[in-house]
Amino acid sequence: MSQENILAVENLVMHFGGIKALNDVTFDIKRGSVSALIGPNGAGKTTVFNCLTGFYKATGGKIILSAGGKETSIIKVLGEPFQVTDFFSPFAFFARLKYKMFGGSHLVNRAGLSRTFQNIRLFKEMSVVENLLVAQHMRVNRSLIAGILDTKAYRKAEEEALERVFYWLGVVDLVDSANRLAGELSYGQQRRLEIARAMCTNPEIVCLDEPAAGLNPSETEALTKMIRVLRDEHNTTVLLIEHDMGMVMDISDYIVVLDHGEVIAKGGPEDIKSNPKVVAAYLGAEEGEEVTL
Amino acid sequence: MSQAVGINFKKSSIDALIAGFMALVLFGPIVGVVLDGYGFNTEFGKVAWMIAAVAIGRFAVSSFLQTEKGIAMAFRYANNNDGVEVLPPGHKSKMVWVIPLVIVIGLLVPFIASKYILTVIILGLIYVLLGLGLNIVVGLAGLLDLGFVGFYAIGAYGLALGYENLGLGFWSMLPIAAIMAAVAGAILGFPVLRMHGDYLAIVTLGFGEIIRLVLTNWASFTHGPNGVSAPLPTFFGLEFKRRSRDGETFHEFFNIPYDSAYKYMFIYIVLFAVVWAVLFIKHRLVKMPIGRAWEALREDEIACRSLGLNHVLVKLSAFMLGASTGGLAGVFFATYQGFVNPSSFTFFESALILAIVVLGGMGSTLGVVIAAFCLTVLPEMLREFAEYRVLMFGILMVVMMIWKPRGIVRVTRTGFAARKGVVK
């Protein structure tokens, strides 16, 4: 496991009852890259995302996130079932019990991975600024006493949080809408706000689930620029699911193609474009035609 | 719109007839049939009057709404925006003037008001506390809790039983009851954390009933339906009784004649201070990270988890802080009544507290205070209407929900002035 890869997915398997959504998915994401996960509808892209971000507990395989100077096993922090050996080793037992009781997808975020959602999930009845303040929950002064007494340290932490809020609002071009309700924003603005909110948790890798869905060409252009800013100015690794091939080919350094729960191709944009398997998956192969690499 | 002006009396008459029929269905059994021992008397006259009043009223409203003025009014109502509003940054609330005024008036009340009015206001303040507690759970965190009365009961019985078994007085039980209720909140909270919406409501409903049933049936400890007497608060060790078994009483110490209103005055002043303290804490909480986390949880739990918020702890903290406020209210209720029994803690109370939160506006502190007073003081004022009291109460709620579905007070959010963005 090298420090070069921020995310290593090995033999990831996800079954929903009898449905095998993911079958032996393996790929690595390089630190500081923009990577894309593409594939036809129903290929299992969002399932991979949900496994990575801890919303689904993978049936099998390994997901290792190396961020914040340590390696986190995403499947472990969600709480694994007890095994026979645990009952002989109290240490392992309590470690497992701890994750079982207090584990969950929030630990994945704290480990340095944040995400956005395909169907936007903003706090609609809260203002834009408050949306970004909630995202900084782990970085502000959460002491009840300090907050109620409004101490100096508390006020300083809040002020710093607000400065970060306005920095990110500047990046996503929403400063003018700072005091509007998140639910009142236009669709494109909501998408941008969601990215800003994910970035406010100070992640090392951000997973964007169809960030360009429903955006017009000029908005997509702006989004592409923003993603570059994330990578170049904040050293954030970006992993995205996207259907807009123009955009994917434009910004990605590395592309993983999924079909029917399996990785059918991975590599740079040029390789993927000319890969006959990928073309077949998207456009369909002629009857009887065998597609081989 | 030319044909709209000019009243269509046929339409109005039909409206009036329908309303009259509805009134017959509603009032017929309630007002028209009066129990008399084992038999009943029918009172057609009364029902006829009521139906006539409703029908004429509906006719007038229907006709009015067809005039130009009426159309304009209906249009205004259809378009009034009751949603959440973000205040401009640097907004100065008018409350800066209102609060000192209310405090001064509040401090004068015990010296002006009669004993009866004072007890009504004390009850109002107790419901303000309950409303504020439930507002954290339902209004801010969005967890529908139908068993809030359980925490109220824990506070009240905590005082009564703590005094009986351990000799703890009002002042020591005030914080202990809050802690006890918070622990009960955590115990209830833990198993139900994975539920939301309707399922949570049913579990909490069960919790409230369990507490009541335990209090009723564990007779050896709680004295069952007979209830337990609760102690009065003391003023630096001075009791508010006519005669004290041990030590001096309040009126003897100050050499004034005994008056049973003193104890209510004292309870009122302590309660008044506690309500303001809770209001202040509540006001701070909503602006603090924890308050934001509660509201975020109400808006979208999955998004919360994706942002690193531990939803288990966020929910538990809401349950515990809400419950502890309910426990405080329980202590005051017990000491004010001087006696507690399980019949004070029925589901109706839970429903009433929930009504306070919903009528006041989910998450609005001011709204909850106003609604708590309305819903406790109003039934007292409606005493003259005797048996129609609950009916009028119901009508009021229906009317409120039609005209102000989001509560009396519009929820506002703080605005933040733009500043230079820095990232560290």
Find the residue in B nearest to A149 (Cα).
B284
Of B422 and A156, the structure prediction assigns the larger pLDDT to A156
Phi then psi dihedrals of residue B229, to 5 deg: -85, 150
Residue A251 lies in a domain: yes
Give me the number of domains chain A comprises: 1
Give the residue ranges of chain B where pLDDT is below 50: 1-3
Q: Residue A2 has what pLDDT?
A: 53
Q: How far apart are CA B116 and CA B100, in angstroms?
A: 25
The number of CA neighbours under 13 Å toward the Cβ of B118 is 22
Residue B149 lies in a domain: yes
Sign of CA dihedral B189, B192, B193, B199: negative
Buried b (16+ CB within 10 A) or exposed e, A21-44: bbeebebbbebbbbbbbbbbeebb
Q: Residue A288 has what pLDDT?
A: 55
Find the residue in B nearest to A169 (Cα).
B421
Q: Is B379 helix (H, G, I), strand (E, B) or coil?
A: helix
Q: Are residues B318 and B190 in the same domain?
A: yes
Q: Residue B182 has what pLDDT?
A: 94
Q: Residue B45 has what pLDDT?
A: 82
Residue A168 lies in a domain: no
> For residue A253, what is the domain's CATH number?
3.40.50.300
Q: How far apart are CA A110 and CA A106, in angstroms?
A: 6
Residue B117 lies in a domain: yes
Which two tokens mark A70? 């340590």
Confidence of residue A256 (pLDDT cuts 50, 70, 90): very high
Q: How far apart are CA A171 and CA A206, in angstroms?
A: 15
Q: Is B173 on the interface with A (CB under 8 A)?
A: no
Q: Note whether A102 contacts B304, CB cutoff 8 Å.
A: no
Contacts of A134 in chain B (CB under 8 A): 292-293, 296, 304, 307, 309
Q: Is B86 on the interface with A (CB under 8 A)?
A: yes
- Single-letter amino acid, residue B204: T
Residue A117 lies in a domain: no
User: Which string of DSSP letters, residue by residue, matches B247-302?
Assistant: S-BHHHHTT----THHHHHHHHHHHHHHHHHHHHHHHHHHHSHHHHHHHHHHH-HH
* Residue reference for tokens 């009066």: B34
Q: Residue A289 has what pLDDT?
A: 57
Q: Are residues B73 and B114 in the same domain?
A: no
pTM score, whole prediction? 0.83
- In this complex, the residue of B284, B415, B421 whose CB is nearest that of residue A167 is B421
Residue B398 lies in a domain: yes
Q: Residue B33 has what pLDDT?
A: 78
Task: For an interface test with B, give the residue of A150, A166, A204 to mutate (most B CBs within 10 A).
Answer: A166
Q: How far apart are CA B412 and CA B86, in angstroms?
A: 6
Q: Is the pLDDT of residue A106 over 90?
A: no
A5-38 per-position pLDDT tens digit: 888 999 999 988 888 888 889 999 999 899 999 9
Q: Which of B18, B44, B79 is the last residue of a domain?
A: B79
ipTM score of the complex? 0.89
> For residue B295, what is the domain's CATH number?
1.10.3470
Residue A216 lies in a domain: no
Count A/B contacts: CB-CB distance under 8 Å.
146
E runs forming strands in A103-188: 113-115
Residue A285 lies in a domain: yes
β-pair type (A5-16, A60-67) = antiparallel
Q: Are residues B26 and B152 in the same domain?
A: no
Q: Residue A1 has what pLDDT?
A: 46
Which stretch of DSSP H or E encloses residue B404? Answer: none
- In this complex, the residue of B84, B290, B420 whose CB is nearest that of residue A144 is B290
Q: Is A165 helix (H, G, I), strand (E, B) or coil?
A: helix
Contacts of A110 in chain B (CB under 8 A): 308
Q: Are residues B194 and B159 in the same domain?
A: yes
A66-103 per-position pLDDT tens digit: 887 888 888 888 887 777 777 888 888 888 888 877 77
Q: Residue B250 has what pLDDT?
A: 76
Q: Note whether A133 contacts B423, CB cutoff 8 Å.
A: no
Q: Is B81 on the interface with A (CB under 8 A)?
A: no
Q: Are residues B63 and B164 in the same domain?
A: no
Give the closest-approach CA distance of A1 to chain B in angstroms.
Answer: 26
Q: Are residues B114 and B73 in the same domain?
A: no
Task: State which residues form the domain around B58.
Answer: 2-79
Which stretch of DSSP H or E encloses residue A118? Answer: none
DSSP state of A217: H
A197-226 per-position pLDDT tens digit: 999 998 999 999 999 888 889 989 999 999
- CA distance readout (Å), B162 to B170, B219, B236: 9, 16, 19
A32-46 per-position pLDDT tens digit: 899 999 988 888 888
Q: Residue B79 has what pLDDT?
A: 58
Phi then psi dihedrals of residue B51, to 5 deg: -65, -40
CB within 8 Å of chain A, chain B residues 340-399:
none
Residue A161 lies in a domain: no
Q: How far apart are CA B341 and CA B345, in angstroms?
A: 8
Task: State which residues form the domain around A288.
Answer: 1-112+203-211+242-293
- In this complex, the residue of B302, B421, B424 whose CB is nearest that of residue A169 is B421
Q: Are residues B216 and B342 in the same domain?
A: yes
Residue A107 lies in a domain: yes
Neighbours of B83 (CB within 10 A): 12
Q: Residue A85 has what pLDDT?
A: 79
Q: Note whether B421 contacts A150, CB cutoff 8 Å.
A: no
Give me the number of domains chain B comprises: 2
Q: Are residues B293 and B348 in the same domain?
A: yes
A109-126 per-position pLDDT tens digit: 888 899 999 899 999 989
Find the residue in B nearest to A110 (Cα).
B308
A229-251 per-position pLDDT tens digit: 888 888 899 999 988 888 888 89
Q: Are residues B143 and B35 in the same domain?
A: no
Find the residue in A nearest to B279 (Cα).
A148
Q: Note whether A180 contacts B423, CB cutoff 8 Å.
A: no
Residue A17 lies in a domain: yes
E runs forming strands in A31-171: 34-38, 60-67, 70-73, 113-115
Q: Are residues B154 and B72 in the same domain?
A: no
User: Which string of DSSP letters, residue by residue, matches B140-163?
Assistant: IS----S-THHHHHHHHHHHHHII
Q: Are residues B54 and B145 in the same domain?
A: no
Average pLDDT value over all residues in chain A: 87
Q: Is the pLDDT of residue A286 over 80?
A: no
- Single-letter amino acid, residue A1: M
β-pair type (A34-38, B33-36) = unpaired
